[in-house]
Amino acid sequence: MVCTVGGLTSEHLIAFVEWLAEQQYSGSYAFLIARQALAFGRWCNDRRLSLCALKDSDIARYQRLRSRHRSRCFETRRRELRSLQLLINFLRGRGVCRASQALATAADNVVEEFVLCLRRERGLAEITVENYARWVHKFLVWRFGRGDICLFDVRVTDAATFIQSEAKRMRPAALKNIANALRSFLRYSQSRGEVSAGLVASVPTVATWASTPPIPRAISAEHAQRAIDSCDRQSAVGLRDRAVLLLLARLGLRACEIVRLTLDDIDWDRAQLRVRGKGGRESLLPLAADVGEGIVAYLQRGRPASPDRHLFLRSVAPIRGLMEGSDAIGTIVRRAILRAKVDAPHRGSHQFRHALAVRMLQLGASLPEIGRVLRHRSVQSTSIYAKVDLNMLRTLVMVWPGGVR
């Protein structure tokens, strides 16, 4: 016989607490979450709310009613909301609660088909797909509202008007992303015969060019090493951060490539690392000795026990891989720079990639060799590093008329 505790069966409640332990929540925090789940269960039981019909709006109603009886600060309500959302998601995962029924609009359906095409045929990075989907959805809602969508009604001036409306609060670089998204969507719609052939050309070009490409802003080799050495090798977080910084500095990986790494990407026998870069392209890179040692130290003494196969995991519950599209790697870099107290050109992770290219150039590597290490598709992407080779540039300097060379 299964007893009922406040609207939740003891079986569900016990399973929920066990799941919290598996996600490595602390005992005190798991106790707090379980207590809030129990109070919510009693409230549901008093109102004869069935768990299978539980909705997100019920949580909001529960919190509003509790706020009437006692004054509670915003942080308390926020923690309670997070706890109850954990409970609802857990019950949905076990099939006890129905999945959230979001009302899909016509714009949602159009964007969903567009996204499927981008992933299936274009091979774009996931963050690019999400960015395109967001702006196309906003454009369709701006043009058609929440009603039916007829792309034949899109006028030649619509794209320009929409971009102009966004230009009031955005910089040119961001506006260029909007233009690219709309151009891609209209080209996709044209291939389906849903818009006229000339509509793609109506998307304006956003001027973001400069007279010369910017000089790469690279952290110096000394400062990069100080940032790496600032990591605490006695702590799990320090071991993880040191391994991440070594991958940035020695192999020039992008932040998204580090987030995607899994345990299966490391070939210890051949000392190779499989990297999934832009557009889903895979590359095999040699695993330098100090990078391998840093990863081994993290795996042996720092990585939490977890079924998640991602190489780098969060340090706090829920224990899972770093979220792609987040600024997790950037946060690691910023903290290391602050600890090391170095004068870095900026706080982003890409400066380590630039530093690797500059160092290779100083050691005599050619631009094509640097491009292969950094996995550039275009020679133009690598050519920006020619401007940091001062010794080579001096040979190109012409004698000033009447002056001394």
Give the helix/strand (H/E) hosting 201. none
User: What confidence score (pLDDT) does residue 6 get?
Assistant: 44
Q: Where are the domains of the chain?
A: 4-93, 106-202, 221-391
Give 3-state DSSP helix, strand, coil % of the chain, rounded to 5: 60, 5, 35
User: What confidence score (pLDDT) does residue 381 get?
Assistant: 77
Name the phi and psi angles at 180, rounded to 5: -65, -40
CATH fold of 4-93 reads: DNA polymerase; domain 1 (1.10.150)
232-273 pLDDT, tens digit per residue, is 999 999 999 999 999 999 999 999 899 999 999 999 999 999
* Nearest CA-CA partner of 345 in 175, 202, 172, 227: 227
User: What confidence score (pLDDT) does residue 390 get?
Assistant: 53
**Per CATH, domain 106-202 is 1.10.10.10:** no
Quick check: is 353 catalytic?
yes
pLDDT under 70: residue ranges of the chain: 1-9, 67-75, 99-104, 208-215, 386-405
- In the set 278, 339, 347, 359, the catalytic residue is 278
19-33 pLDDT, tens digit per residue, is 888 888 888 888 888
State how far the Cα of 199 lies from the Cα of 190, in Å rounded to an integer: 8
Quick check: is 254 catalytic?
yes
From the options 1.10.443.10, 3.40.50.2300, 1.10.4100.10, 1.10.3720.10, give the CATH code of 221-391. 1.10.443.10
User: What confidence score (pLDDT) does residue 178 get?
Assistant: 92
Quick check: is 79 catalytic?
no
- In the set 250, 254, 303, 375, the catalytic residue is 254
pTM: 0.71
Name the phi and psi angles at 190, rounded to 5: -65, -40
Quick check: is 350 catalytic?
yes
User: What confidence score (pLDDT) does residue 229 get?
Assistant: 95
- In the set 303, 310, 353, 375, the catalytic residue is 353
Quick check: is 376 catalytic?
yes
